Structure 1
Amino acid sequence: MRNHTSVTSFILLGLTDDPQLQILIFIFLLITSMLSVTGNLSIILTLVDSHLKTAMYYFLQNFSFLEISFTSACIPRFLYCISTGDRTITYNACICQLFFTYIFVIAEFYLLAAMSFDRYVAICIPLHYMTIVNFTVCKRLIFCCWIISLLIILPALSLGLDLEYCASNAIGQFDCDANPMLKISFSDTWLIEQMIIIISVMTFLMTLLCVVLSYMYIIRTILRLPSTQQRTRAFTTCSSHIIVVSITYGNCIFVYIKPSAKDEMAFNKGVTVVTTSISPMLNPFIYTLRNKQVKQAFNDLVKRFKLLSSN
């Protein structure tokens, strides 16, 4: 046995040892990650449009940035492992990946809560929207999302740096994750495990409570609108956010629906693939396809690129 100072690398076991299946996984993750980065980058560039200078689109830009960052922290390393056959990852690189992955995930949950507050003000207090949710407030909310994420993750991460490991340094995932790393540690991990549970529950429940309360008031306000057209228009303004919230929290809930011990590892790997590749890819399509202003701005952006390329 050796302590963490002598552990220079870990081995990522990945999803499967089948070479043919690895090729399919490589192609699938390469396509989804490229679509995710391209789609979310297009959203960021599209929302620079002067006609979309509202709080909702400013939040959406930052949400797309988080999706790009999250995908970039997880997928490229795994694609490298498959393409080269080198499954080793250095201790420092593993800790960095763990840090950035978790901070992006936590920040995303708090940003979704901030976006639900934005929708609440837009639907329930529309006359005061520009006063309550101005750009100063938006910047402060986004800054708070990052600071809270950093303050939440640093204590557990600092304790994790003192872990000792046995001779086995194989991580049963395709990326560095807290639970597999704790399983192979020789140290007493009880305190860190409790901290992770508290962090997960606190983040999940606090943000979910904010989302649920916001939409309770939103639904009540929409139902009180006199005409069907007004109700439809009001619901349309927050439907994309509802879909993204459902996907994000749905993935989180599935992680805690434990199957049998035999299938638990495969199940968690499957959920991780969905969370890291499919969800970030779907989000830009959800927002663009359901928002006429974003679609129009995107079409204008494409036309500008065509003009630049032709010149």
Structure 2
Amino acid sequence: MSHSNYSVQEFFLVGFPMDPSVQLLLFFLVLANYLITLTGNGVIISITLSDHRLQSPMYFFLRNFSFVEIWFTTVTVPKLLAGFLVGSHTITFVGCMAQCYFYFLLGATEFLLLGVMSFDRYQAVCNPLRYPALMTGKFCLKLVCGSWVAAFFTILGPLIMVTGLPYCNSNVINHFFCDRTPLVNLACTDTEWVENINLVLAGVLILGSLVLTVISYCLITMTVLRIPSAQGRSKAFSTCASHMMVVTIVYGSHIFMHVRTTHTYTERVDKVVALMTSVVAPSLNPFIYTLRNEKVKEALREAAQKRGLFCTKEIKRKKTFMGL
């Protein structure tokens, strides 16, 4: 697709037009959430890599999910922060399309990883004796790579179609990033076929992975309810509770945003939901997984104690060296 096929050279992102003092407050709130997302998910990645107790498939998938969360929020938040702070609202055509692609690529990978994680929990609860033989390291790696590859090819076609649309009426996107729906609304041609294809693919990807998750947890529930002891049932459910909380947050917001046509699109509501999905939800996930997971909490406590002990030894060594 040559650049001469469209007249728009750059887009203007409306963002959240409001009083400057309110924008400054939003800047600090979004920045705080972004830093929490980077730090929290970064800690999960590092602790699951370094602690020998966290080397099971469950934590391998969690580590990959945290990696996706970091980049998913990074696709949109820095540009949003720049808009709040210095009023930088323009984005080039290529930059806009790249942002749109990576947003949906990482979002699609997130859905598929959630489906994979639910499959892992199903195997762990329903087939505990066969679990080590089934969920080998090689098989887990294939599942993660398969999620990325499937997301890549699923999102590539719709992006090519959106890129090829003629944008000649307006370059103003009433959003804080280059979302698919407001982009399609700017095209000066009939876009019904593009909308239908996007709707089908979004439905297959989101709802398909959701069905896998729901079926997995229905089977898990049936298995757990057959456990005779209340303590055993509680322990089995606790291993899945964090994942189910994340599934509810992620799927609920994205189904509202993407599994619908442009005729039901509401700009103000969509921006707020997208803000929650891109900024707030990724910052909550580390807390959900760590606060409800005893192994992760124990590993974090030990890491903090080792770090504190190391710092204490360094201080003592410096005092001794200085003759104090």
Q: Pick from 142, 149, 152 the counterpart of residue 150 of structure 1.
A: 152
What is the match of residue 116 of structure 1?
118
Task: For residues 86-138 of structure 1, give each alpha carbon's deviation from its aligned partner in whole angstroms, at most 9, with x where no partner exists.
Answer: 21111111111111100000000010000000000100000011111111111
Counterpart residue identity of residue 131, structure 1? A
Q: Pick from 201, 218, 221 the counterpart of residue 219 of structure 1.
A: 221
The Cα shift of 1:307 comes to 4.8
Counterpart residue identity of residue 25, structure 2? L
What is the match of residue 137 of structure 1?
139
| C-alpha spacing 1:309/1:102, structure 2 compared with 1 (3 Å) | farther
Separation in structure 1 between the aligned mates of residue 91 and residue 142 of structure 2, nearest angstrom: 37
Does residue 83 (structure 1) correspond to residue 75 (structure 2)? The answer is: no
Task: For residues 209-265 of structure 1, give each alpha carbon's deviation from its aligned partner in whole angstroms, at most 9, with x where no partner exists.
Answer: 10111011100000000100100010011111111111111212433799xx99921
The Cα shift of 1:162 comes to 1.5
| C-alpha spacing 1:89/1:309, structure 2 compared with 1 (3 Å) | farther
Q: Identity across aligned pairs (percent)? A: 38
Kept in 2: contact 1:3–1:165 (CA 8 A): no
Larger radius of gyration: 2
TM-score (norm 1): 0.94
Name the SS for the 1:127 alignment partner. coil
Kept in 1: contact 2:75–2:99 (CA 8 A): yes
Kept in 1: contact 2:104–2:155 (CA 8 A): yes
Could you say which structure has the greater relative contact order, defined with CA pairs below 8 angstroms and 6 or more residues apart? 1
Q: Pick from 93, 96, 103 the counterpart of residue 94 of structure 1.
A: 96
The Cα shift of 1:34 comes to 0.6
Kept in 2: contact 1:3–1:163 (CA 8 A): no
Kept in 2: contact 1:3–1:164 (CA 8 A): no
What is the match of residue 103 of structure 1?
105
| C-alpha spacing 1:47/1:262, structure 2 compared with 1 (3 Å) | closer
TM-score (norm 2): 0.90
Show structure 2 runs of 5+ residues with no match: 315-324
Name the SS for the 1:165 alignment partner. coil
What is the match of residue 230 of structure 1?
232
Separation in structure 2 between the aligned mates of residue 205 and residue 86 of structure 1, nearest angstrom: 36
| C-alpha spacing 1:133/1:198, structure 2 compared with 1 (3 Å) | same
Counterpart residue identity of residue 8, structure 2? V
Separation in structure 2 between the aligned mates of residue 181 and residue 46 of structure 1, nearest angstrom: 40
Task: For residues 61-94 of structure 1, give each alpha carbon's deviation from its aligned partner in whole angstroms, at most 9, with x where no partner exists.
Answer: 0000010010111100110122111211111111
Superposition pairs for residues 130-279 of structure 1, below 5 Å? 130-255=132-257, 264-279=266-281
Separation in structure 1 between the aligned mates of residue 22 and residue 259 of structure 2, nearest angstrom: 26
Kept in 1: contact 2:170–2:186 (CA 8 A): yes
The Cα shift of 1:193 comes to 1.1
Counterpart residue identity of residue 33, structure 1? Y
Counterpart residue identity of residue 228, structure 2? P
The Cα shift of 1:204 comes to 1.7
What is the match of residue 34 of structure 1?
35
The Cα shift of 1:35 comes to 0.5
Show structure 1 runs of 5+ residues with no match: none
Aligned residue pair count: 308
The Cα shift of 1:9 comes to 0.9
Separation in structure 1 between the aligned mates of residue 246 and residue 284 of structure 2, nearest angstrom: 9
- Of 16-25 and 281-290, the range deviating more from structure 2: 16-25
The Cα shift of 1:173 comes to 0.2
Name the SS for the 2:266 alignment partner. helix
What is the match of residue 305 of structure 2?
303
Separation in structure 1 between the aligned mates of residue 25 and residue 265 of structure 2, nearest angstrom: 21
- Of 149-158 and 14-23, the range deviating more from structure 2: 14-23
| C-alpha spacing 1:129/1:24, structure 2 compared with 1 (3 Å) | same
Q: Pick from 284, 289, 294 the counterpart of residue 292 of structure 1.
A: 294
Name the SS for the 1:94 alignment partner. helix
Task: For residues 158-206 of structure 1, give each alpha carbon's deviation from its aligned partner in whole angstroms, at most 9, with x where no partner exists.
Answer: 1222111124200010001111111111133222211110111101221
| C-alpha spacing 1:145/1:237, structure 2 compared with 1 (3 Å) | same
What is the match of residue 73 of structure 1?
75
Counterpart residue identity of residue 46, structure 1? I
Separation in structure 1 between the aligned mates of residue 253 and residue 311 of structure 2, nearest angstrom: 40
What is the match of residue 321 of structure 2?
none
